[in-house]
Amino acid sequence: MTEIRYDGRVAIVTGAGMGIGRMYALELAHRGAKVIVNDLGGARDGSGADQSAADKVVEEIRAAGGDATANYDSVATMEGGQHIVQTALDAYGKLDILINNAGILRDRSFLKMSEEEWDQVIAVHLKGAFCVTQPAVKKMKENNYGRIVFTSSASGLYGNFGQCNYGAAKLGLVGIMNTLKLEVAKYDIKVNTIAPTAWSRMTADLFPPEYEQKLNPQFNEPMVLFLCSEDVPVTGMTFAMGAGWYGRTAVVSGNGVCLGDASRPVAVEEIRDNFDQIVSLDETKPHDNGGSIFTYMAPLLS
């Protein structure tokens, strides 16, 4: 088995002070990458700040013979994002890999959710990914190389009670990826998204206690490292995982049905009478870009 290495590569991992992000930072460094360990060191709800979170991981990496530099900025501002990227450039002169992983939770059922709870979660997960990824892509483009991973969640992809803010942000990341993958494809910048599952402080009171050992955050690391490797064969894809299971997930369309002739109006009764075909996901396919939806309408448009 040929070993996958990251020698000469410079990586940023946001929110790498604990949980899943720490695993990425440790293994990237172990396999030769120089790593920026970003972490604000706040509480699960985003409050507070503690530089020791990032410092400890940097110490761990250095003690094992690796190379890492700490950064304590919040991902949630443009200044923070720029400074995180600048830290990589100042320390190591370039940037090859960005893993957008930082996150917080402010759970509340939809009707009880405050504007502040909404804004803070969107700011860290969705805006935060923009704030760090935009300056990162500027640098990657100059070098004609980049590997970017966004961190979504089953909560955003499929739904979870009490997490409409988090779910919106997490599915929004898939939206960023869908566009960004097209805009950077010619620069050998590959952009993929993962939906991890892990026992961490974020999920310790959400998952059954007996899952603690089996949902080790480590199990997410090899998939993400593969997506950050030179030879990763895909871009614009989403992968879910946990406990050693890995699988692709995607927004797909069914074949549907063409009604009318694109000139006469279609009646609501025709929707009712053809609903079995409209709702069917028996034959589905994912799409590389929004324009491909026209393929279904082709018989009507020709």
**Catalytic site includes residue 166:** yes
For ligand NAI, which residue has the nearest CB? 19
167 is a site residue for ligand NAI (CB under 6 A)? no
Rule CB under 6 A: choose which of 11, 34, 37, 41 binds ligand NAI. Answer: 41
Residues in the chain: 302
The angle formed by the CA atoms of residues 187, 97 and 171, to the nearest 5 degrees, is: 90
Catalytic residue among 6, 166, 187, 296: 166
User: With contacts defined by CB under 6 A, how many residues of the chain interact with ligand NAI?
Assistant: 34
Listed residue (201, 203, 246, 204) closest to 221, CA to CA? 246
Rule CB under 6 A: choose which of 138, 201, 214, 285 binds ligand NAI. Answer: 201
Are 215 and 207 contacting, i.e. CB atoms less than 8 angstroms apart? yes
Smallest separation (angstroms) from ligand NAI to the CB of 266? 40
Question: What are the backbone angles phi and psi of residue 215, rounded to the nearest 5°?
Answer: -95, 45
Are 181 and 120 contacting, i.e. CB atoms less than 8 angstroms apart? no
Residues 6+ apart with CB under 8 A from 298: none
- Say how far apart CA 84 and CA 92 lie, in whole Å: 12
| Cβ-based nearer residue to ligand NAI, 204 or 234 | 204
- Say how far apart CA 296 and CA 292 lie, in whole Å: 8
Smallest separation (angstroms) from ligand NAI to the CB of 47? 10
Give the N- to C-terminal CA distance of the chain in Å, as an integer: 51
Contact pattern for ligand NAI over residues 84 through 103, marking x by CB under 6 A = -----------------xxx
Residues 6+ apart with CB under 8 A from 272: none
Q: What residues between 115 and 144 interact with ligand NAI by CB under 6 A?
A: 124, 128
| Cβ-based nearer residue to ligand NAI, 83 or 181 | 83
Rule CB under 6 A: choose which of 189, 198, 224, 240 binds ligand NAI. Answer: 198
- Say how far apart CA 277 and CA 298 lie, in whole Å: 17
Q: Is 265 helix (H, G, I), strand (E, B) or coil?
A: coil
Rule CB under 6 A: choose which of 18, 33, 129, 171 binds ligand NAI. Answer: 18
| Cβ-based nearer residue to ligand NAI, 21 or 236 | 21
Are 84 and 14 contacting, i.e. CB atoms less than 8 angstroms apart? yes
39 is a site residue for ligand NAI (CB under 6 A)? yes
Rule CB under 6 A: choose which of 28, 53, 58, 241 binds ligand NAI. Answer: 53
Provide the annotated active-site residues.
166
Q: Which residues bind ligand NAI (CB under 6 A)?
A: 14-15, 17-21, 38-42, 44, 46, 53, 74-76, 101-104, 124, 128, 151, 153, 195-198, 200-203
